[in-house]
Chains A and B, each alone.
Chain A
Amino acid sequence: MGRIEIQDLSLVYRSGREKFLALDNINTKIDDGEFVCIVGSSGCGKSTLLGVLEGLLTPTGGRVLIDGKPIHGTGPERAVVFQQYTLFPWMSAIQNVVFGVKQVRRELSAKQLEEIGVEFLQKVGLKDFLHKRPGELSGGMQQRVAIARALAVNPQILLMDEPFGAIDAKTRLTLQEMLLNLWAEDAEKKTVVFVTHDIDEAILLSDKILFMEPKRISREIPVTMPRPRDRDSMYDDKEFRDLRNNLVILFYKDIKEQIGGEEVML
């Protein structure tokens, strides 16, 4: 459960008279339980594509199927983690987590909800911060709460748009590790679609990298390195280095085109 098919997907942004084609006829499949990273330079349409999967944007052409059924708007089988500032500031950590669960499982009692809240905050290492408001938590802790909130609804698909993009480099490593462990511990793995600018992050996390050039997916690159992956030994791995080089070249080419063919330092 959690197979995504994207068929002939296109999206046009309209503002007044102006039109902008952001996604142009995208076709791809993401398998059930697959961890997929989307990389590509800024403005190429990653967030737009994820917005369609989230159900916040309605495609102008084509469709998205989940387990064979077309999606309309948001749905409880999908959960989302955005980049920043998406916890409700007037709710405590546990209230934020529970709020999501309450929307889709009305039958649960307050006590059951609280148990779920505690369970998932514990999973992200925040069991001592249950009653802190977002303003009292660091950026990294806030993202942990956001992840707990997304997982607590027990979705089949987890959609993440640069969830660690605003987190300092060191905390980022811990959060990547945490996310991988949480994903791997499920018997029935969730499908994850993860947008990032960070090539190392993409290789460490994913089964497959979707490389986007403006408006389309230009390449699908499988990442076959065995799991669990160890960050330290990974850098010595030949497959890792080849993959990284390829991606850097792709990125470089993309950037060079954007700034008009001048030589640039990466």
Chain B
Amino acid sequence: MSAANKDVKVGLRGRLINLPVALYIASVVLVFLPSRMAERVTMSNPIAFIFVLTFTLVFFWIKLGKKGGTQQAKDIATVIFVFFLLWEAITTKLDWLPYIFVPAPENVFYSYIQLWDYMLSGLARSLYLLLTGFIASLVIGVSLGIAVGWLPRLRQAVFPIAKAISTVPAIVYGPYIVVIMPTFTAASILVIFFGTFWSTFMNMINRVGTIDARIINTAKVLNVNTRTMLFHIIMPYTLPRIINDMSVALSISMMTLTFAEMIGADRGIGYFVRRSLDYANYTQAFAGIFFIAVVITVLQVFITVLKKKLIKWDY
């Protein structure tokens, strides 16, 4: 448990009288003022948008109670509310931007109510591809990396090669993989796999090669065999950094997945965005993009929690 997570007392006044709350109220009031955009576009029920605003506020209040995060929570909430406020004002109230390209927030968030089942099944599909490719890449990259890193000659031979290959983004040869693989599912998983495999593999080789000699020598004088050395010494020793790299790898995987879904899928959240764009339905495209951002954020939070649970000893 880090000190930054302890609860602190924030009084009722402290919660109610601050900039984010004022901005929240302003946003809600603004939603109910007459809309100029409504003359040309059907406006959806603002309930979903109000819900998003309120959810942000509640989340801000929760964060406000955590030690060390108060100022940051205020600043983040301020930025988010200003963004929503400007979006609402510029589109529906002032009608400054071409309404076809910049949809109203009410309409964007209402899409979730209209399309939730469709989006959720797309999400399930995307997560299946993402997690299969990502986890396979992680497991194989880490174990091969440990094995190669442990043998100095192999390490010196393979490291520069892996490094060179890792600079080529998998999406460059992605279309080729789509052509040679029998199904699109298999192809996507493979592209996602290669999206992070080389860098995971390379980082792991490097890490095992530069591990603290005192730890290795201690293990050697305790007469460990190779298996124990790899799985009980090197593996836990490198675990904190494996998890650190996981968040970067996950973002890359997500990018690769979205790319794959935009070239040849018939389901999934990337496909949802592409199809919306194809039909010039920018309201739905916005909704899809927000949705992807939220999913990635949730996965990243999950990795952070995993790290806190697993690594209590990090230096």
Contact = CB atoms under 8 A, between A and B. Distances in A.
Interface string B198-226: 00000000000000101101101111110
B224 A79 contact: no
A89 B238 CA distance: 12
B220 A56 contact: yes
A90 B221 contact: no
Interface residues of B, number: 20
B236 A76 contact: no
A73 to B, nearest CB: 8
Contact of A100 (B212, B215, B222): B222
A78 interface: yes
B313 A76 contact: no
B228 interface: yes
B279 interface: no
A72 interface: no
A249 interface: no
B102 interface: no
Interface stretch (A35-43, A80-88, A218-226): A80-88
B315 A82 contact: no
Contacts of A79: 221
A62 interface: no
Given A88-B233, A90-B313, A133-B312, A76 B223 contact: yes
Interface string A140-155: 0000000001000100
Contacts of A85: 212, 214
A100 B222 CA distance: 5
A56 B221 contact: yes
A162 B222 CA distance: 18
Interface string B235-274: 0110100000000000000000000000000000000000
A135 B313 CA distance: 7
Q: Which secondary structure dominates chain B's binding surface?
A: helix
Contacts of B224: 103
A54 interface: yes
Contact of A78 (B215, B217, B221): B221
Contact of B315 (A54, A56, A89): A89
Contacts of B233: 88
B223 A103 contact: yes
A240 to B, nearest CB: 33
Interface in A80-109: 80, 82, 84-86, 88-90, 99-100, 103-104
A195 B315 CA distance: 28
Contacts of A55: 220-221
B222 A99 contact: yes
Interface string B294-315: 0000000000000000001101
Contacts of B237: 88, 90
B217 to A, nearest CB: 6
B314 to A, nearest CB: 8
Contacts of A82: 214, 217-218
Interface in A52-79: 54-56, 74-76, 78-79
A142 B237 CA distance: 18
A49 B233 CA distance: 26
Nearest to A134: B313
A85 B237 CA distance: 13
B215 A88 contact: yes
Contact of B221 (A80, A89, A133): A80
Interface string B67-102: 000000000000000000000000000000000000
B315 A135 contact: yes
Interface centre among B212, B218, B233, B237, by most A CB within 10 Å?
Answer: B218
B222 A103 contact: yes
A99 B219 CA distance: 10
Contacts of A133: 312-313
A154 B239 CA distance: 32
B248 to A, nearest CB: 23
Contacts of B228: 103
Given A133-B312, A133-B313, A135-B315, A86 B223 contact: no
Nearest to B222: A100
A84 B217 CA distance: 12
Nearest to A73: B220
Nearest to B228: A103
B315 A90 contact: no
Nearest to B217: A56
A106 to B, nearest CB: 10
Interface of B: 212, 214-215, 217-218, 220-225, 228, 232-233, 236-237, 239, 312-313, 315
Q: Which 8 pairs of residues, A with B, have the shortest CB-CB distance?
A: A80-B221, A86-B218, A100-B222, A90-B236, A89-B313, A103-B223, A90-B313, A133-B313
Given A55-B221, A86-B215, 13 more contacts: A56-B217, A74-B223, A75-B223, A78-B221, A86-B214, A88-B233, A90-B236, A90-B237, A90-B239, A90-B313, A103-B224, A104-B223, A135-B313
11 contacts: A54-B221, A56-B221, A82-B217, A85-B212, A88-B233, A89-B315, A90-B237, A99-B222, A100-B222, A103-B222, A103-B225
Interface of A: 54-56, 74-76, 78-80, 82, 84-86, 88-90, 99-100, 103-104, 133-135, 149, 153
